[in-house]
Chains A and B, each alone.
Chain A
Amino acid sequence: MIINHPLLGPRDAQEFTYLGDAAMIDRPDWQAENAAEAFHDYLYLRDNPAGEHRELWFHEQGDRSWLVVTRNTLTHEITNVELARDVARAQGRGR
């Protein structure tokens, strides 16, 4: 597969390692009342869609950017690639 890196352009997927669902960005608040339950869901409950999936890839043999890649799991078509850091910030993550 070819992943169109937002900074570096098209790169072979062999240069990347795969983590999984981009929902891994949404780490729960450790001080919330239901923290244990929220962490359980965060860690163990994932969607496994046959179709479009937002997922995390790490450009290990490249610039060490984590990317959020929107990929169709049926066709491998990749429709969007973003820097995970930008996505995390946009989703309100900070310090």
Chain B
Amino acid sequence: MHKLKAITALGASDLKVSTIGDMTLTEVTDRALASLSMRLGQDAEFAKRAKDILGIELPLPGVAEVGSPYSAFWIGPDSWMIDASYTSHQTLAADLKSAMQDTTSVVEQTDGWCRFDVTGASACDLFERLCNVDIRTMQAQTATRCAIHHIGCYLWCIEAGTRFAVLGPRSSAGSLYHAMEEAAQSIAAR
């Protein structure tokens, strides 16, 4: 183990967790991410290898597929984000690349993103103040890109209505968290 000590996207050694009203905002750092983009004309081989290594079908546009140890959500035409435990998959991108070989371009994305999970009965009220996603009809295991406080994020619905994950660019973690916290306080003040 090397000597460098990680800090969170919010610049602390510990995770930020706050409960506001009936909502809990939790910073999540234990996720490894890698983008998977199919190379041109590799459709069959790509699909086969992806299924073999990931154990899940790569999802359609707007959809997330949850599995163990890998989950995935669609990020663009022929592109997906793969999610796994950071503790057990620190070299996720390299591992995927060696399995996918030349069928796929794989890029490490783990530290490109910060993640805040929101749980609670008022979660829909919260996202109604933050982004233009039709949050009340958002199904479990769907994911979409959206802008929160002008920050491009992925919004991943884990349980419809009550549990969501927000992935935002790591450098904007402070602004993103602030926007979510203020909106939550606003909801809680009703």
Do A and B come into direct contact in the complex, CB within 8 Å?
A: yes
CB-defined contacts of B144 to chain A, threshold 8 Å: 8
Rounded to whole angstroms, the CA-CA distance of A64 and B75 in the bound complex is 9
Given contacts A12-B132, A83-B77, A63 and B146 within 8 Å (CB-CB): no
Judge whether B132 and A8 touch: CB under 8 Å. no
Interface string of A71-89 (1 = CB under 8 A from B): 0000000000001010000
Judge whether A63 and B132 touch: CB under 8 Å. no
Specify the main secondary structure of chain B where it touches its partner.
Answer: strand
Specify the main secondary structure of chain A where it touches its partner.
Answer: loop
B15 within 8 A of A: no
How distant is B113 from chain A, measured CB to nearest CB, in Å? 15
Interface residues on B, range: 10 to 19
**A-B pairs with CB below 8 Å: how many?**
30
Interface residues on A, range: 10 to 19
B62 within 8 A of A: yes
The answer, among B74, B77, B146, for a CB contact under 8 Å with A61, is B146
Judge whether B76 and A61 touch: CB under 8 Å. no
Interface string of B132-150 (1 = CB under 8 A from A): 1000000000001111000
Rounded to whole angstroms, the CA-CA distance of A62 and B79 in the bound complex is 13
Judge whether B62 and A15 touch: CB under 8 Å. no
B61 within 8 A of A: yes
B152 within 8 A of A: yes
The answer, among B61, B132, B147, for a CB contact under 8 Å with A7, is B61
A65 within 8 A of B: yes
Which B residues fall within an 8 A CB radius of A? 61-62, 74-77, 132, 144-147, 152
